[in-house]
Amino acid sequence: MLMNLGFGDLDHVRKVWGDNVEEACRTIYEILGRLEEQVLATRDLARQEILELVAEGGLAGFRIYCHRAEISLFQSLFDVSLLSLSAENFITSKKQYLASDPFYSLFKIGPLRCFGWAKVPKVLISIPKYQVFRRIKLALVEDDEVVGQDPFNPDIDYRTDLFNRNVKTISDSSAPVESELYTDHIELEDILNFTPNHGISSEGDCLAVDLADQMSILLPAGSSHLVLKSTDGFKSVRETKTHEFGIGDYLIHMDMHIHGQSVVADKTEMTELWKAALDSMYRNQYQALIANCENAGIDLKNLDGALKSWRRPVSEGLHAPQSPVHFSLLIEKVLPVNTLKGHSWKEAWSEIRAYRAKAIQEGRLEHEAFRQQVQHTLQDHLEEIAACAAGSEQFAVDLEEPWGDGPLKFLKIKSINRGFVAPREKTGVLVHRSEVDLFRAEDA
């Protein structure tokens, strides 16, 4: 385009338009050249990874997620005698993904965030129909304001510690750099997304399960729950995933109240430093602290409440900003210079990530152990439970164990409805059937 406008001859540009325009054109041509090299490197890496996945799981079990306009670009990577990608190998929409049968591997180029530019449907993450997921992502761009919304970014998120990661990155210099390409055998119940004003949100795709007595419950798609199965005459209580629920089964609802030990951080050296500095500013320079936060761009709706939480001592849990962007601003723009005594904000952030990963893992393990104990105990009472199920759509069983705040509730499943999106704190709660409509997805 520049050449068509007469900007192809840089000497001519300099004579007519001056040195500044000539330098700008030269910079544009250099950027376009690097971009072309990077595209070629990305194509080579994509070709290599696709061939590897097809070799592992077969062409019939291979899918690419992309925009429909990009299908021809992927097909052009291969000579038809080597590999012929058909329409069945591509997924381009949420509807198509949900309608597809389970397959072996899914491949994607680019970010996995569910908001903003190049977003993907949440179901791609919350309802994995694949055994192996692989993607190529470009190196981080510093001025990309929503980079933190990519849930599988190993430099940012909290969940990558739960995966066996093997990711490859194409660097800005156009040379492929071995880093980490996710090749994951995953079973994901929820996902954390960063939002600029609210910190972390665990909002995700849900099922609305209608139960007896006009009650309903929202459950994360793909999550597991204890269910009394009707298919075998109520002779078994099983851990059952939501897609395996059946009409007539009984969902077992527990008011869980686990008295576990609080998570202890393994390392808090840098956390102690910034918390001490924040506490001092909050007590002695409150107005300056608020002004610094606002000027730095920490635009939380309840800023004072957030600061009160962050300044709490480590002995009460490692409370800190949810977003790495806000944390970097806190360290570099708000607190006194050299608060971390020579350490970088990324080093301090690693302490927070390690603590949160440990809390997630320990909480999950404790929750699973609790449910296994309940399931094991119920096996000894199946005869009485089956008799109750035969005569009632809802009943309670009190096992006289110190497990929760009341008996176990058995509620008959009347219908199962898809197309709901809800935050994690709204799931697993019994409500009147009319209330779940508030969480129906706009595109459902």
pLDDT tens profile 29-42: 777 776 666 666 77
Q: What is the pLDDT of residue 193?
A: 29
User: Which position has the higher pLDDT, 144 or 372?
Assistant: 372
| Residue 210 confidence (pLDDT) above 90 | yes
Q: What is the per-residue pLDDT for 297?
A: 87
- 76 exposed, middle or buried (CB, 10 Å; 0-12, 13-18, 19+)? exposed
Q: How confident is the model at residue 198 (pLDDT cuts 50, 70, 90)?
A: very low
Predicted local confidence at residue 203, as pLDDT: 53
Q: Tell me which residue of 75, 64, 76 sits closest to 100, measured CA to CA.
A: 64
pLDDT in tens, 174-183: 433 333 333 3
Q: Is 316 exposed, middle or buried (0-12, 13-18, 19+ CB in 10 A)?
A: exposed
Does position 121 have pLDDT exceeding 70, yes or no? yes
Residue 116 or 216, more confident: 216
Percent of the chain with pLDDT over 90: 18
Residues 243-256: b if buried by 16+ CB within 10 A, e if exposed: eebeeebbbbbbee
Find all residues with CB under 8 Å of 335, minimum gap 6, and list them: 274, 277, 278, 281
- For residue 124, give the amino acid letter: L
- Minimum mean pLDDT range among 19-28, 87-96, 346-355, 409-418: 19-28
Residues of 417-444 as b/e, b for ≥16 C-beta within 10 angstroms? bbebbbebebbeebeebeebeebeeeee
How does residue 155 score in pLDDT terms, banded at 50, 70 and 90? Answer: very low
pLDDT at 369: 61
Lowest average pLDDT, out of 279-288, 364-373, 413-422, goes to: 364-373
Give the separation between CA 59 and CA 28, rounded to whole angstroms: 41
- Listed in sequence order, the residues at least 6 apart from 53 whose beta carbon sits closer than 8 Å to its beta carbon are 62, 104, 105, 107, 132, 134
Instruction: Output 378 or 310, whichever has higher pLDDT.
Output: 310
Question: Average of pLDDT values for 278-296?
Answer: 93
pLDDT in tens, 327-365: 989 999 999 999 999 999 988 988 887 776 666 555 554
Distance CA 150, CA 159 (A): 11
Residue, of 164 and 47, whose pLDDT is higher: 47
Q: Quote the pLDDT of residue 37.
A: 64
pLDDT more than 70, % of the chain: 70
Asked whether the predicted pLDDT for residue 406 surpasses 50, the reply is: yes
What is the per-residue pLDDT for 435?
84
- pLDDT confidence tier of residue 116, bands split at 50, 70 and 90: low
Which of 28-42, 170-184, 296-310, 384-398 is the least confident region?
170-184
State residue 85's pLDDT score: 93
Tell me the mean pLDDT in the region 392-404: 71
- 201-210, 255-264, 323-332, 339-348: lowest mean pLDDT where? 255-264
Mean per-residue pLDDT, 197-223:
74
Q: For 4-24, what is the mean pLDDT?
A: 72
User: How confident is the prediction for the chain on average, in pLDDT?
Assistant: 75
Mean pLDDT of 215-225: 87
Q: Are strands 224-228 and 250-253 parallel, antiparallel or unpaired?
A: antiparallel
pLDDT of residue 79: 81
| Residue 197 predicted with pLDDT over 60 | no
Task: Compute the average pLDDT of residues 77-103.
Answer: 88
Query: Which one is predicted more confidently, 238 or 22?
Result: 238
Rounded to 10 degrees, what is the CA torsion of 51, 54, 56, 60? 180
Q: Residue 255's pLDDT band (boundaries 50, 70, 90)?
A: low
Let me know if 30 is exposed, middle or buried by CB neighbors in 10 A (0-12, 13-18, 19+).
Answer: exposed
What average pLDDT does this structure show over 251-261? 61
HSE value, Cβ hemisphere, 13 Å, CA-based, for 385:
29
Res. 21: pLDDT tops 60: yes
Q: Which two tokens stand for residue 129?
A: 């129909």
Residue (of 112, 111, 126) closest to 191 by Cα position: 126
